[in-house]
Chain A
Amino acid sequence: MIRVDRLSASVRKTPILRDLSFSVKPGEFVALVGPNGAGKTTLLKHLNGLMKPTAGTVSVCGLDTKRARTSELARRVGFLFQNPDQQILCATVREEIAFGLRHCGIPRAEWDGRIAEAAARADLSAKLDADPLMLTRSRRQRVALASVLATDPEVLVLDEPTSAQDEAETTRVMELARGLARRGKAVVLVSHDMDLVARYADRALVLVSGKLEADCAPAELFSDAGLLARAMLSAPPIVRLARALGLDLPASGGERALLVRSLADQVAALARREAV
């Protein structure tokens, strides 16, 4: 679904991305991690044609981003920006969600249904006639999310979706993303929250100074101290805790509560053995 082949990109003559190659298949949930300034946001912008490669190719859903227009790619790539206010244009939430539908050429007859569904999934059904700018920050984030979901993109890109969110909001966004992945869409997440990466991502792409340092499962990343150091990342707290206690964590990640329970089960088992 996404194929990046020897991508290099420069911004104002400064090379930001160097010779990147990777691909993302439908149904995969990929996390893009790395230190600040590594080029993560730049790479994201190449996925929907906001930036064009200086060398190499990026192809998304079969379209070459160098040749296709951003508006064409937008039909297939849903982009959730870090700052929802950048996107909000319209006077009501309903119009805001319809904005994407209009410009992606979705037939008018389908709009009402799609708006209702997207609003329901983003828990905004009661706010369809409200002015998005008057809503609280997390609701505005949900408006942006609903507007992206309504167009049913093949690829969902999330740029730091969790700044200034409480835990419940964060979980909502991530669960929606995971739901999309399960339905065969590709999800690309940029986040500095390693806990989320561990719980949701199937793969981690580690970007350091514009180069792809690693492409592996999150569990592998978190057990490689050298890689973590190079990428200026640290393992999620629950992984560190498990290590400190000498316990194992299931490699496939999962719900936090389950992980905690798994650790508690191990402690309980070891304590019983000790008592015996």
Chain B
Amino acid sequence: MIQLESVGFVYDGQEGPALDGVSFASGPGRLVCATGAECSGKTTLFRLLNGTAPRVFPGTFSGSIRVDGSDPTERGHAEIGAIITSVFDDPDSQIISLTVEEEVAFALVQRGLEFDEIARRVSDALARVGLAGFERRHTASLSGGQKQRLVMASAVALRPRILLVDEGTSALDPEGARRFFSIVDDMRARDGTTAVVIERDLDLMLEFADEILVFARGRLAFRGSPAEACQKPSLLRDAGLRLPAWLELADELRERGLLEGSLPSSEAEAVAAIGELVPAGAAR
């Protein structure tokens, strides 16, 4: 579905490469999370995948990139928009309509779908994101979390092959962020959508991702499953992420030689493993 081979990109007017020698491939129906410190290259990846680089963000591209068989750098973002939908972090700059149903209907109307079909898809999409019954509401009256869910609803209605998200949870509270990821996960499960999500919340990544990519200074520093990512706490820390408390503790205990073997990859695992060190009565 997505294939990158030795992809490199240098923005015009900048010296160093934003991306350098990045290779990875991902099949359909996968939730891939990309993370890293600021200017580590994850946003550049996002732009290359959705075709906005180099057209909107000029620069020199090297290597090869294929998304569902097409090259987004050649086709450009408008053309590739038919199979790739992008979601950004600020819902206010993505919502174009005055009412909820119009927002979800917008792209469908553009595509020339029949009005009956549009109405069906709109109510289905709204139900899937938990905004059922909100059809007539004014978009300006929605809360931040609801607005972001609305953006997701319009993405759901399009049933894209590929969904790209650029820090979609940054303006949301923890509950909203979790709900956001559940929607992405639902798209993956029901529609077979491949999602590439740029994210900073490690807890959510460990819970929902099939694969995690960590970028550092334009290179792919790590690629693997959440369980594998947990084995590299210092790499995650260097990427500017906040480690879950259980991983910090497990890492500290391993440093002290109290824990052996691989680090746990979930809170439950961690509590179980550490609990074994602690006398039976103490762990509640």
> Closest CB-CB distance, B155 to chain A, in whole Å?
20
> Closest CB-CB distance, B237 to chain A, in whole Å?
8
Tell me which residues across on chain B come within 8 A of A164, comparing CB atoms.
Answer: 89, 167, 170-171, 200
Q: A195 vs B275: C-alpha distance in the bound complex, in angstroms? A: 23
Q: Which residue of the partner chain A has the closest CB to B173?
A: A192
> Closest CB-CB distance, B70 to chain A, in whole Å?
30
Option from A163, A232, A246, A263 in Cβ contact (under 8 Å) with B249: A263
List A residues 178-232 near B (Cβ within 8 Å): 192, 195, 232
Residue A256 interfacial (CB < 8 Å): yes
Question: Count of A residues near B, CB < 8 Å?
Answer: 37
Residue A267 interfacial (CB < 8 Å): yes
- Is A138 within 8 A of B38, CB to CB? yes
Tell me which residues across on chain A come within 8 A of B246, comparing CB atoms.
Answer: 237, 241
Residue B56 interfacial (CB < 8 Å): no
Which of A102-110, A121-129, A268-276 participates in binding chain B?
A: A268-276
- Is B277 within 8 A of A267, CB to CB? yes
Tell me which residues across on chain A come within 8 A of B38, comparing CB atoms.
Answer: 136-138, 166
Q: Which residue of the partner chain A has the closest CB to B255?
A: A264
Q: A236 vs B274: C-alpha distance in the bound complex, in angstroms? A: 19
- Is B248 within 8 A of A274, CB to CB? no
Tell me which residues across on chain B come within 8 A of A270, comparing CB atoms.
Answer: 277-279, 282
Tell me which residues across on chain B come within 8 A of A170, comparing CB atoms.
Answer: 242
Question: Count of B residues near A, CB < 8 Å?
Answer: 38
Residue A45 interfacial (CB < 8 Å): no
Q: A261 vs B200: C-alpha distance in the bound complex, in angstroms? A: 24
> Closest CB-CB distance, A156 to chain B, in whole Å?
22
List A residues 25-48 near B (Cβ within 8 Å): 36-37
Residue A116 interfacial (CB < 8 Å): no
- Is A166 within 8 A of B200, CB to CB? yes
- Is B277 within 8 A of A36, CB to CB? no
Tell me which residues across on chain A come within 8 A of B283, comparing CB atoms.
Answer: 244-246
The interface bits of chain B over 143-177 (1 if a CB of A lies within 8 angstroms of the residue's CB, else 0) are 10100000000000000000000010011011100
- Looking at B37, B241, B277, B283, which has the most chain A CB atoms within 10 Å of its CB? B277
Interface residues of chain B: helix, strand, loop or mixed (majority): loop
- Is A241 within 8 A of B277, CB to CB? no
Tell me which residues across on chain B come within 8 A of A238, comparing CB atoms.
Answer: 245
> Closest CB-CB distance, B89 to chain A, in whole Å?
7
List B residues 222-256 near A (Cβ within 8 Å): 237, 240-242, 244-246, 248-249, 252-253, 256
Tell me which residues across on chain A come within 8 A of B249, comparing CB atoms.
Answer: 241, 260, 263-264, 267
- Is A260 within 8 A of B258, CB to CB? no
Tell me which residues across on chain B come within 8 A of A257, comparing CB atoms.
Answer: 248
Residue A243 interfacial (CB < 8 Å): yes
Q: Which residue of the partner chain B has the closest CB to A164?
A: B170
> Closest CB-CB distance, B263 to chain A, in whole Å?
14
Q: A246 vs B282: C-alpha distance in the bound complex, in angstroms? A: 5
Tell me which residues across on chain B come within 8 A of A251, comparing CB atoms.
Answer: none
Residue B136 interfacial (CB < 8 Å): no
- Is B242 within 8 A of A167, CB to CB? yes
- Is A245 within 8 A of B248, CB to CB? no
Residue B39 interfacial (CB < 8 Å): yes
Residue B267 interfacial (CB < 8 Å): yes
Tell me which residues across on chain A come within 8 A of B39, comparing CB atoms.
Answer: 136
- Is A264 within 8 A of B253, CB to CB? yes
> Closest CB-CB distance, A33 to chain B, in whole Å?
11
> Closest CB-CB distance, B12 to chain A, in whole Å?
14
Tell me which residues across on chain B come within 8 A of A192, comparing CB atoms.
Answer: 173-174
Q: Which residue of the partner chain A has the closest CB to B176?
A: A36
> Closest CB-CB distance, A234 to chain B, in whole Å?
8
The interface bits of chain B over 266-284 (1 if a CB of A lies within 8 angstroms of the residue's CB, else 0) are 0100110011011100111
Tell me which residues across on chain A come within 8 A of B237, comparing CB atoms.
Answer: 167
Given A237-B203, A244-B284, A245-B275, 16 other A-B residues pairs in contact with their CB atoms under 8 A: A192-B174, A232-B175, A237-B245, A237-B267, A244-B283, A245-B271, A245-B274, A246-B283, A257-B248, A260-B245, A263-B252, A271-B258, A271-B277, A273-B279, A274-B277, A274-B278
The 4 A-B residue pairs with the shortest CB-CB distance in the complex, in nearest-first order: A166-B240, A164-B170, A238-B245, A246-B282
5 contacts between A and B (CB under 8 A): A170-B242, A237-B203, A260-B249, A267-B249, A270-B277
